[in-house]
Amino acid sequence: MRNLTESNLTEAVLAKLATTEDARFRQIAESLVRHLHEFVREVELTEDEWLKAILFLTAVGHKCDDKRQEFILLSDTLGVSMLVDAINHRYPEGSTETTVFGPFYQTGAPEFENGANIAEGVAGKPTYFSGRVLDEKGVAVAGAIVDIWAVDGEGWYDVQLAHLEAMQVRGRLKTDDLGRFWFWTVKPVSYPVPSDGPVGDMLRAMGRHPYRPAHIHFMLSAPGYRNIITHVFVAGDGYLDSDVVFGVKSSLVTEFTEHAAGRAPDGTVMQTPYFVAEYDFHLARENS
Ligand code: BEZ
Ligand code: FE
């Protein structure tokens, strides 16, 4: 293996992978090498550009810590996360569409009773959210876990606020016998993904804005059903058609309707105007 050239170098590297024991790893590594080499050939990468790419990826790594995942952000903003999501969640017709997980989920969010306020003391517009968890045929799924996380009224996740000691605007509920769940929160707002790192530099170089349309994240699970990770988006948001992470699906958009002060659907008497939103989720059976 000497005197390798532009035209036979790829084959030489691929030949080296022939001894890879794990068949799936071999398939992935071979495809990666082929596409990487083809990419370099196609754009005729200069040495300066190659070094710039290495330094960019190094900066992406340096930006990561236990609260910040710049590689996921890179994957999200290049549409890779949504492609992986689409390939891995080919759920049957009738089940709720999935979307990007994002970097702000936290395990161990507090458990709440239905009707609780998951955003107690958080600035924002009070919102009553209710819905049902059903199977693909519309039959109620009782005891499903509804795991919720969202930004505060100013567009920040709790993990982004260094001064906070406890989680906020996140929690876990359980559906009742009719598959229903309901809670109070604050109306989500559109917000920029973190853009003070190399991914932000990349977005600016591409002339792109960093915004996501307002949404609430949901993760739904119940024994015998496939987990669903998704969002519910606020109808009318100005970024629905330009989400920086390509995550919007029309079936996930719902109205958040403003009401004057008065009695809310769960009987709470509101002294201020508030919003009401409703969304039903449909789970697919395992192995469907
Ligand atoms: C989010 O919606 O939380 C999110 C998703 C992808 C990148 C950044 C944030
Ligand atoms: Fe989000």
The pick from 78, 100, 244 for probing ligand 1's pocket by mutation, whose C-beta has the most ligand atoms within 8 angstroms, reads 100
10 three-class SS: helix
Question: Token pair of 79, please?
Answer: 């549409």
Q: Are strands 126-135 and 274-278 parallel, antiparallel or unpaired?
A: parallel
Q: What is the pLDDT of residues 75-100, one digit of tens each?
A: 999 999 999 999 999 998 889 999 99
Tell me how far CA of residue 115 lies from CA of 162, 177, 248, in angstroms.
28, 15, 28
Predicted confidence (pLDDT) per residue in 124-169, tens digit: 999 999 999 999 889 999 999 999 999 999 999 999 998 888 999 9
Higher pLDDT, 56 or 166: 56
CA angle 60, 170, 259 (to 5 degrees): 120
Cβ–ligand 1 distance for 159 under 6 Å, the answer: no
Ordered by start, the domain boundaries in the chain are 9-45, 75-283
Query: Measured from the CB, is residue 193 less than 6 Å from ligand 1?
Result: yes
Global pTM? 0.94
* Strand spans (E) along the chain: 126-135, 145-149, 170-174, 180-186, 191-192, 211-212, 215-221, 228-234, 253-254, 257-259, 262-263, 269-270, 274-278, 281-283
Q: What is the CATH number of domain 75-283?
A: 2.60.130.10
Ligand 1 atom 1 nearest Cα:
102
